Structure 1
Amino acid sequence: MPTLFLRLKSGLHRTLALSAALFLLSPAWALQPPAGAVILTISGKVGDTNQAGAAAFDLAMLEALPQRSFTTSTPWYKEPTKFTGPLLRDVLAMAKANGVTLEAMALNDYKTTIPMDDAQQFDVIVAHRINDQPISVRTKGPLFIIYPFDTTPELKATKYYGRSAWQLKSLKVD
């Protein structure tokens, strides 16, 4: 293909060819900037940023990822509850996160540490809907890292409940 571009004789053709080549070589998978209010910021060891050295997401960006739903029992709700959102591993992949741990920070400054392996081993989601309704800040939103507790007895443990984070605002990858 490069020799084809070199053989073009007209300056206009060369300019058009160079523009086309740069377009084809540009990363179409690059993280786009958020168009709406930022509800999640991923910092630290991220390979793709879109805002001040971090990967910032608005709700539309999270909704554009493949969505998962599951219903699970939790210590926080009396009845099994349905959660919907993208897999945590998909969100991390969008930011090209590469680390060992995640420090999740909530709006109320609650912090928890989540091993990166959890995102691969379990279908942990970044829920933005509970029982098919958007999660308001008042009801533990706008985002809630939640494990599928009912899928395996191993997850019905204090350590995994403690790794869940409602009112999630940021993740730091270390």
Structure 2
Amino acid sequence: MIFTPTPTLSVLALCLGLGIAPVSAVAETLLTVTHEGNVQTYDLDALEDMGAVTFETTTIWTDGPQRFTGVPLTELVEELNLEDGVLLASAINDYTVEIPVSDAVEGGPIIAYLNNGERMSVRDKGPLWIVYPYDSDPEYRSELIYSRSIWQLDRIETSD
């Protein structure tokens, strides 16, 4: 049997021979947003580039105060040029919630990608979680707001 290296194996061998660690050319998509028939994907770098907000709050799902970092929902709404309507936010298990665009206010919810400075695994409600600053306003401590706090978020669609 004659071994014929594939182009991928040849590149890998060259990288290893030169002491270069091969790097994946494809970044992991964390969020897919569909708006007016257009699909936009976001990896961690793209989300970070939108600007980050960090706040500390308690949640009904965690113990003690938690520090969340993520993209303000206002940034996504602004990027989509939305003034009203609904965001249909879905998790990896297809659970979907409706979040009114009116929830996207300064000092409001974020699309969190860090909890206490660490990326969140699927097991720990990640990789993305819509988190409201529950401790900052009594209105954020309601069943309605808790129901909008979707974790394992992976896609958002806009709806009028």
Instruction: Tell me the TM-score range normalised by the shorter chain.
Output: 0.7 to 0.9
CA RMSD of aligned residues (A): 1.7
1:78: how far off? 1.6
Tell me what 1:103 maps to.
88
Native 8 Å contact 1:124 1:146 kept in 2: yes
Tell me what 2:32 maps to.
41
Query: How far apart are the structure 1 equivalents of 2:83 and 2:40?
Result: 13
Tell me what 2:137 maps to.
152
Query: How far apart are the structure 2 equivalents of 1:157 and 1:93?
Result: 26
Letter in 2 for 1:139: D
Secondary structure at 1:166 match in 2: coil
Q: 1:127 to 1:58 in 2, by over 3 A?
A: same
Bigger fraction of residues in helix: 1
When Rg is computed on C-alpha atoms for both structures, the one with the higher figure is 1
1:65 to 50, 65, 82: 50
Cα deviation, 1:134-155, whole Å, max 9, x if unaligned, reads 1111211110011111001111
Query: How far apart are the structure 2 equivalents of 1:103 and 1:151?
Result: 25
Q: 1:91 to 1:123 in 2, by over 3 A?
A: same
Native 8 Å contact 1:45 1:99 kept in 2: no
Calculate the TM-score normalised by the size of structure 1: 0.72
What percent identity do the matched residue pairs reach? 35
Q: Which runs of 5+ in 1 are unaligned?
A: 1-34, 47-52
Query: How far apart are the structure 2 equivalents of 1:104 and 1:112?
Result: 5
In the TM superposition, structure 1's runs of 4+ consecutive aligned residues that sit over 3 Å from their partners are 95-99
